[in-house]
Amino acid sequence: MTSFDNFGFTFLEEGFCARDIIEQKINESTSSDDKDAFYVADLGDVLKKHLRWARVLPRVTPFYAVKCNDSRAVVETLAMLGAGFDCASKTEIQLVQSLGVEPSRIIYANPCKQVSQIKYASAHGVQMMTFDSEVELMKVARSHDNAKLVLRIATDDSKAVCRLSVKFGATLKGSRLLLERAKELGLDIIGVSFHVGSGCTDPETYAQAIADARCVFDMGAELGYNMTLLDIGGGFPGSDDSKLKFEEITAVINPALDKYFPADSGVRIIAEPGRFYVASAYMLAVNIIAKKVNMKEQSGSDDEDDGTNDRTLMYYVNDGVYGSFNCILFDHAHVTPIVHKKPKPDERMYPCSIWGPTCDGLDRIVELCALPDRQVGDWLLFENMGAYTVAASSTFNGFQKPDIYYVMSRSAWQCMQQIHAQGMPALVGEQSPGNMPGHCGRESNLGLPAKSCAARVL
Ligand SMILES: Cc1ncc(COP(=O)(O)O)c(C=O)c1O
Segment 391-420, tens digit of pLDDT: 999 999 999 999 999 999 999 999 999 999
State if residue 84 touches ligand 1 by the CB under 6 angstroms criterion: no
Asked if the model's pLDDT at residue 302 lies above 50, the reply is yes
Q: Parallel, antiparallel, or unpaired: how do β-strands 403-409 and 38-42 relate?
A: parallel
Report yes or no on whether pTM surpasses 0.85: yes
Alpha-carbon Rg of the chain, whole angstroms?
Answer: 24
359 belongs to the catalytic site: yes
Q: Residue 276 above 90 pLDDT?
A: yes
- At 161, the pLDDT band (50, 70, 90 cuts) reads confident
Task: Give long-range contacts, CB 8 A cutoff, 24+ apart: 440-449.
Answer: 440/411, 440/414, 440/415, 441/414, 442/414, 444/413, 444/414, 444/417, 445/417, 446/4, 446/417, 448/4, 448/5, 448/7, 449/6, 449/7, 449/8
A 10 A CB-CB count for 370 gives 10
Any atom of ligand 1 within 6 Å of the Cβ of 236: yes
160-164, 315-319, 447-451 — which one is most confidently predicted on average? 315-319
Distance (angstroms) between ligand 1 centre and the Cα of 131 equals: 15
Ligand 1: which of 61, 66, 67 to mutate, judged by most atoms within 8 Å of the beta carbon?
Answer: 67
pLDDT score recorded for residue 448: 33
Report which protein residue has its CA nearest ligand 1's atom 10. 235
Q: Please give the number of the atom of ligand 1 that sits closest to the Cα of 110.
A: 1
Query: How many C-beta neighbours within 10 Å does residue 362 have?
Result: 11
Tell me the pLDDT tens digit for each residue of 174-225: 999 999 999 999 999 999 999 998 878 899 999 999 999 999 999 999 999 9
pLDDT grade for 158, boundaries at 50, 70 and 90 = confident
- 442 falls in which pLDDT band (50, 70, 90)? very low
Give the confidence band of 298 by pLDDT, cuts at 50, 70, 90: low
pLDDT, position 270: 98
Answer yes or no: is the C-beta of 272 below 6 A from any ligand 1 atom.
yes
- Nearest protein Cα to ligand 1, atom 1: 109
- Strands (DSSP E) contained in 92-199 are 106-108, 128-131, 148-152, 188-193
Which of these is catalytic: 68, 112, 162, 359? 359
Q: Is 386's C-beta closer than 6 angstroms to any atom of ligand 1?
A: no
Percent of the chain with pLDDT over 90: 82
**10-12 and 403-409 strand pairing:** parallel
* Atom number of ligand 1 nearest to Cα 130: 1
Q: Whose Cα sits closest to atom 7 in ligand 1? A: 234
Evaluate if residue 371 carries a pLDDT over 60.
yes
Of the listed ranges 126-140, 147-161, 346-360, 389-403, the least confidently predicted one is 147-161
Q: Please indicate whether residue 200, judged by its CB atom, sits closer than 6 Å to ligand 1.
A: no
pLDDT mean over 422-445:
53
Confirm or reject: Cβ of 164 under 6 Å from ligand 1: yes
What pLDDT sits at residue 256? 98
Q: Is the pLDDT of residue 141 over 80?
A: yes
Q: How far apart are CA 89 and CA 94, in angstroms?
A: 9
Query: Does the CB atom of residue 198 touch ligand 1 within 6 A?
Result: yes
Q: Give the chain's mean pLDDT.
A: 90
Nearest CA to ligand 1 atom 9: 274
- Which string of b and e fits 268-277 if b means at least 16 CB within 10 Å? ebbbbbbbbb
Which atom of ligand 1 is nearest to 272's Cα? 4
